[in-house]
């Protein structure tokens, strides 16, 4: 899978330009486009009109349906605009908005209940990595997935220090960490054959292939480099 996470970027025009560029790919069935919420509806219209096999995802979701919550976006609203996935627990939301595991568990829970597939992000900070705490931190974050199944859920390993920095871990490290995550998920009761691990953090056209080829990595979550349609085409091959 290839997830294009546009974060707080783009406009009506660039969304359509981008969709036009990438529509030439034969691999769209492996891609999930996550533009800002405002553009999901028009992206969905474009995708339906051109009969593209690209899926749509939200970058976040609220953990409730139809309650009095100013500014809230519910799973049913996302489904209404053709959205099949939601990113949950991105480090930017964990850090800026102090989203903690209690909230994230509620988000995962409502998504799975309402039929929205989850892209659950985890990752260690540089400080945590340097003090040898990577595995401990990742295990703590993964514990939010205890009691869920991996059937409709992917885990995106995104070291916080690699996001937007141009630095990526060594391939051996990505591989070792992904294997570790698989073992941890199995110990939480997830079925091995359902587990999907994505890698994210400074993925671009120059490094995507070697990361994607790692045995335990089943996909990539791409931020900055996904904004450029031509570069995204190169990444998805």
Catalytic residues: 90, 158
d(CA 16, CA 132) in angstroms, rounded, equals 44
| In the complex, least distance from residue 65 CB atom to ligand PGA, rounded to whole angstroms | 26
Q: Contact at 8 Å (CB) between 89 and 141?
A: yes
- Cβ-based nearer residue to ligand PGA, 155 or 203: 203
- Cβ-based nearer residue to ligand PGA, 192 or 206: 206
Which H or E element spans position 5?
A: strand 2-5
Using the rule CB under 6 A, give the single segment among 20-28, 69-77, 141-149, 221-229 that binds ligand PGA.
Answer: 221-229
| In the complex, least distance from residue 196 CB atom to ligand PGA, rounded to whole angstroms | 16
Helices (H), the chain: 12-22, 40-49, 75-80, 91-96, 101-114, 126-130, 134-142, 171-187, 208-212, 229-236
Residue nearest to ligand PGA (CB): 223
Pick out residues in 112-171 that bind ligand PGA (CB under 6 A): 158, 163-164
Which has the closest alpha carbon to 15: 55, 43, 45? 43
Pick out residues in 11-40 that bind ligand PGA (CB under 6 A): none
Burial class (CB in 10 A: 0-12, 13-18, 19+), 236: buried
| In the complex, least distance from residue 112 CB atom to ligand PGA, rounded to whole angstroms | 21
- Our finding on whether 221 is near ligand PGA (CB under 6 A) is yes
Q: Which residues bind ligand PGA (CB under 6 A)?
A: 5, 158, 163-164, 200-203, 221-225
């Amino acid at each position: 899978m290839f997830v294009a996470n546009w974060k707080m970027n783009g406009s009506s025009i660039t969304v359509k330009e981008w969709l036009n560029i990438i529509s030439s790919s034969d691999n769209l069935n492996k891609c999930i486009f996550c533009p800002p919420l405002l553009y999901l509806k028009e992206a969905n219209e474009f995708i339906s009109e051109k009969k593209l096999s690209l899926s749509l995802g939200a970058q976040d979701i609220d953990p409730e349906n139809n309650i009095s919550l100013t500014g809230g976006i519910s799973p049913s609203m996302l489904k209404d605009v053709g959205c099949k996935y939601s990113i949950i627990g991105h480090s930017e939301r964990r850090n800026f908005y102090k989203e903690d595991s209690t909230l994230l568990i509620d988000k995962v829970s409502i998504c799975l209940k309402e039929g929205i597939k989850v892209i659950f992000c985890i990752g260690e900070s540089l400080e945590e990595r340097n003090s040898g705490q990577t595995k401990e931190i990742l295990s703590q974050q993964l514990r939010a997935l205890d009691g869920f199944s991996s059937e409709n859920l992917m885990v995106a390993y995104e070291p916080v220090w690699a996001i937007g920095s141009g630095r990526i871990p060594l391939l051996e490290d990505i591989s070792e960490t992904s294997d570790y995550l698989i073992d941890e998920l199995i110990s939480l009761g997830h079925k091995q054959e359902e587990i999907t691990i994505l890698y994210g953090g400074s993925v671009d056209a120059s490094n995507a292939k070697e990361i994607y080829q790692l045995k335990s990595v089943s996909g990539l979550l791409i931020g900055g480099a996904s904004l450029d349609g031509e570069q995204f085409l190169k990444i998805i091959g």
